[in-house]
Chains A and B, each alone.
Chain A
Amino acid sequence: MSDIPMMTLRPTWGVRLAPWRREIAVLLLIIVVCLVLTLMNQQFLSGQNIQNLARRIGMSGIFAVGLGFVIITGGIDLSVGSLFALLGILQCFMLVDWQVPWWIALPAILAGGAFIGLGHGLLITRLRLWPFVVTLCGLLIYRGTAQFIADNNSKGFGNGEGFAGVQAFLTGHLLWVPVPFWILMLVATLGGILLHATVYGRHLYAIGHNEEAARHSGIRTHLVITMAYVICGVLAALSSILFAFDSGGITPSNHGSFYELYGIAAAVVAGCSLRGGQGSMVGIVLGVVLIQLIPNFVNLLGWDTSLTFAVMGVVILTGAAADSLLVRRR
């Protein structure tokens, strides 16, 4: 009811930076973790470790960007990890068993991701199913299908006849930096522009905050939401190709399992709200970096690697609790 005070003061830095507090906090945390690791273990700054880290950040960052789009609409995609298994198996079959040229097979994988994203989007917008339910079923269906197709056997890429070049490129380096990291930079830049500077991005945020008001403002909410799932599907497929080549083979029962949760955690830790409408591209990328640093952290400090999940959980929970306490204080 009360009117806001008429302020003539210029906003202070605190006010200006307030919307970025999550991103800033994660950045500071990353810096602290890196400093600790540098001091504790010289291997952290070794070229091999940095390259390895960058490669994993690249591969997991690409699908986290896609998940970010979906999460900003207020949705979720739980099926990404299973999708990696299904698309990975298909990638093996196409390239090895059916000898499909890679320049057909890889675009086909991307198209498959887009198609599955479209299916999710249509089920969510047309049939008004909950994103959680749709993609949870996706998680089960794609994993099961992958296992069935592969007869529950692992599949490899053999000697890479016909696609060894592209596999080497995608798992290799360009100017010392791993190719997946370059791809992530490209995806994040384009995604950032799409999210923060285009009409589509603005519509995405409006829907995430208030779908009803967005519809009343003439936004084609169904189209915008469906597109977010298609983007998520394509980027998941892109990640999937990289993960498949990187691992050199697919075990359908566990390839990619839990990966969707890394992506969701990355998006959420640096500012995306699962209620939608919040988050930034910078935040998503920083979140990925932090999440990928954690296994490295556990490993290089000589902790038992089976603690990785637990450490990840504690970090995310601490972050969320600290943020909540800070916000409530104001």
Chain B
Amino acid sequence: MLMRSGPSLRNSADSDGGGSFGNRTMTKLLEMSGIAKRFGGVFALHGTDFSLSAGEVVGLIGENGAGKSTMMKILGGVHQADAGTITLAGKQVSITSVADATALGIGFVHQELSVFENLDIAGNVFLGREPRTAFGLMDRARMRRESAPILKRVGLELDPSTPLVRLSLAQRQLVEIAKVLSLNARIIIMDEPTSSLTLSESERLLAIIADLAQQGHAVVYISHRLKELMACCSRATVLRDGRNVGDLVGAELTHHNLVRLMVGRDLPPAPARATIVANRGGLSLRGVRTSAWPEHAIDLDIKRGEILGLAGLVGAGRSELARAVFAIDRALAGTLTLDGKPLRINAPPDAIRAGIALVPEDRKLAGLVLDMSVRENATLATLPHHVRGGLISRQSERAATTKAINDLGIRTASGELSASSLSGGNQQKIVLAKWLATKPQVMILDEPTRGVDVGAKQEIYTIMRALAANGTAVLMISSDMEEVIGQSDRVAVMHEGALAGILSGTDINEEAVMRLAVGQVAEGLAT
């Protein structure tokens, strides 16, 4: 690839930063070369290279299955490479366990947080290596004393004895980072750190990452969010099918270049917003109150034929609203009408019968039965359709599953494989298949593309658009600003349990959405 940058990398001009690692020179801190890894008969990595300098934030991107996680798990000691060398600060090292990696100053902040809710911050930071007092008891005072300065470095101004239960997801992530820092990590690997954070939380995290780089740490940043990569990385390494397909440096880091390298082709432009035919009906919420925000009543119309984006910060009450409509949680008050007809919904089966479908936020916990097969998941909401003479017809199920696999392009060798063996994007498509089978009149999607690679993302957008075009009312809850702006026909924004406003047409832009999300009442906007 033409954009491979070679050795003439970013000049470490900021070496006056006085970081804790004095030997910052032009030599690379980390050099991984020719890394190969095979799982069974499948090559995950084919002699892949990756390098990192101190004080540098490098983005590592690629579609799911491109090998970026495998690459970093080899660095983190979770997997061992079949071939290739790892050179750390000029010395070749062998990393055969997580303990090795830790000892070498490599810290891994995983996508799924591994913090413990029942412990306090200090307890989490020192988990597994708690200092002892002379009597052999845990030295809590020392843990608190020593964790305080680390917390400051990650911008977490909380008492170290605060129990983790009281922390937000974003704060828990900072605890995780603090834990890595307390292990004297020189290299910090972050796997999709912002995938469950709101925009403002993400921005804070990016600032903290920049700070850590200033202090001399090298950061590997794995993310699907191209915008963040562009914001925080000086360089990005793109992997595709287990190969390094190019580095993008500085001005080369554009959305266009990233996507083209990742997928190896140009993606079609996002479809234009649909023009809504007025009064085509749809789902109307009137005075809906959820137990999360009982003081706010929500009125909202989701029209047939549109994708209504629902934006807001995490905790603004969006998922709670969706759960109330689908009757996962009881709504405290309010009425629902579909095309003007009132609905009585006391439990999810009522909602399904009324033509409402909910693709939940947490795919693994609520979207799928991971240990069941693709087929069993795809038919779970419509099993009665496949009953012949009182028994489930496997044949009918298989036919429906094969059709769904083809229609939605689910990449699986067979409908009998367990859902857990599929990648995130393909799992999400199974959830969609389950609900499309119910022929929904109203489709609610809560963070439909979280943890989904770029290619599958586009396919999910196409599916949503086709649904809307066929007259389904689509409500898309999303914390991904690009997605909200790019995919919605109108955008409703919630702030602390209340509907802050609705944007349409040319009013839809990032600034307007953010203003409403943080509670600034915009002038001249109809609510």
Contacts and interface: CB of A to CB of B under 8 A. Distances in A.
Interface of A: 1-8, 11, 193, 197-199, 202-203, 205-206, 209-210, 212-220, 277
A1 B64 contact: yes
Contacts of A11: 414
Contact of A213 (B41, B352, B368, B387): B368
- Among A2, A11, A197, the most chain B Cβ lie within 10 Å of the Cβ of A2
A205 B41 CA distance: 32
Contacts of A220: 347, 349
Given A4-B422, A209-B371, A212-B365, A217 B384 contact: no
B65 A216 contact: no
Nearest to A2: B65
B111 to A, nearest CB: 9
Given A3-B65, A199-B392, A202-B392, A213 B423 contact: no
Contact of B423 (A3, A206, A209): A3
B9 interface: no
B223 to A, nearest CB: 13
Interface in B373-422: 376, 380-381, 383-384, 387, 390-392, 411-414, 417, 421-422
B417 A4 contact: yes
A210 B365 contact: yes
- Interface-centre pick from A2, A216, A219, A220 (highest chain B CB count, 10 A): A216
A216 B367 contact: yes
A8 to B, nearest CB: 8
A213 B366 contact: yes
Contacts of B7: none
B495 interface: no
A217 B371 contact: no
B70 interface: yes
A205 B380 CA distance: 11
Nearest to B390: A198
A202 B376 CA distance: 8
B365 A3 contact: no
A216 B328 CA distance: 7
Interface residues of B, number: 48
A5 B380 CA distance: 25
B135 interface: no
Contacts of B39: 2
A11 B39 CA distance: 18
Given A202-B376, A202-B383, A2 B423 contact: yes
B69 A1 contact: yes
Query: 10 tightest A-B contacts by CB?
Result: A3-B65, A7-B413, A1-B69, A197-B391, A218-B352, A217-B380, A5-B42, A210-B369, A216-B366, A199-B383
A206 B372 contact: yes
B260 to A, nearest CB: 21
A220 B368 CA distance: 16
A330 to B, nearest CB: 11
B467 to A, nearest CB: 19
Given A1-B64, A3-B426, 16 more contacts: A1-B424, A2-B39, A2-B65, A2-B423, A3-B423, A4-B413, A6-B411, A198-B392, A199-B392, A202-B383, A206-B369, A212-B366, A215-B366, A216-B326, A216-B328, A220-B347
B412 A4 contact: yes
Contacts of B40: 5
A8 B414 CA distance: 9
B112 to A, nearest CB: 12
A306 to B, nearest CB: 41
Nearest to A222: B347
Contacts of A5: 40-42, 413
Given A3-B411, A197-B391, A202-B392, A215 B69 contact: no
A8 B413 CA distance: 7
Contacts of B424: 1
Q: Which of A202, A203, A214 has the most CB of B within 10 A?
A: A202
Contacts of A217: 348, 380-381, 434
A203 to B, nearest CB: 8
A203 B380 CA distance: 8
Given A1-B423, A6-B411, A206-B376, A218 B381 contact: yes
B70 A2 contact: yes
Contacts of B68: 1
Nearest to B371: A209
B42 A209 contact: no
Interface in B323-356: 326, 328, 347-349, 351-352
A320 to B, nearest CB: 19
A1 B391 CA distance: 36
B391 A193 contact: yes
Nearest to B40: A5
B283 to A, nearest CB: 17
B360 interface: yes
A218 B435 CA distance: 11
A6 B423 CA distance: 13
Contacts of B417: 4
Interface string B68-81: 11100000000000
B415 to A, nearest CB: 12
Given A4-B421, A5-B40, A215 B328 contact: yes
B65 A218 contact: no
A217 to B, nearest CB: 4
B358 interface: yes
Interface in B48-105: 64-65, 67-70
Given A4-B422, A218-B352, A220-B347, A209 B372 contact: yes
A2 B358 CA distance: 27
B159 to A, nearest CB: 33
Contact of A216 (B69, B360, B390, B421): B360
B370 interface: yes
Contacts of B412: 4
